[in-house]
A and B are shown apart, each in its own frame.
Chain A
């Protein structure tokens, strides 16, 4: 299957700072990438859909000014958590499809964010 790489795999930051998470498709071009958030023992909740070259589409209840998404190329999308607070601590994971539309989704390894 296609490979999606996410970096970093874990990060600890101080409250009030910003953290950037990268999601790369290594062996295919991803027009669309998705960002999810997962709380312990819960399922994945879609945060936003990231389209190359255009603004991300955020799900209801997700603050677009807090969770900045950039998809500048067909192989890279970034999620920046701005002014992080302890309640932002979570597991963030991205996915990408190898084509346009509803194709098979491949996921990165996830990023464990802890805000202290």
Chain B
């Protein structure tokens, strides 16, 4: 059974810092991995999608990497801003055609 773990569970940083969020999954047989952002009480916004054949994807200040063989992905946020404060979720589309989520990392960027 696929399990997705995110570390750390919570993170507080001052504005301007670069930071890394980690995601690991137990079964490397995935189709893709997706990073999402969730604001309190809101739905999910897709940030980056990495196909299983890809190593990384970039969008603006965000860069996500994927090492399928080791079951790991990282989300790098450059020059963090208070508006980046949210919960970040990673999810893998596994061999059972289901999107399995990690528990999330709650990020607070302090002005």
| Leading 7 A-B pairs by shortest Cβ distance | A102-B31, A102-B93, A107-B44, A109-B43, A43-B103, A110-B43, A44-B101
Q: Assess the A108–B93 pair: CB atoms within 8 A.
A: no
Query: Interface digits, B53-94 against A, CB 8 Å rule (1 contact, 0 not)?
Result: 000000000000000000000000000000000000101010
- Which residues in A have their C-beta under 8 angstroms from that of B36? 107
Interface size counted on chain A using CB atoms at 8 A: 23
CB-nearest residue of chain B to A10: B41
Contact A106 B46 (CB under 8 A): yes
Asked if B13 is at the interface of the complex by the 8 Å CB criterion, the answer is no
Contact for A93 among B44, B46, B98, B100, CB less than 8 A? B44
Whole-angstrom CA separation of A108 from B104 in the bound complex: 18
Q: Which residues of B contact A (CB under 8 A)?
A: 31-32, 34, 36, 41-46, 49, 89, 91, 93, 97-104
Q: Is the interface of A mostly helix, strand, loop or mixed?
A: strand
B98 touches A49 (CB 8 A): yes
Q: A93-B44, A109-B42 given as contacts; is B104 within 8 A of A43 (CB)?
A: yes
- Within the complex, the shortest CB–CB distance from B34 to chain A, in Å, comes to 6
Q: Whose C-beta in chain A lies nearest to the C-beta of B100? A: A46
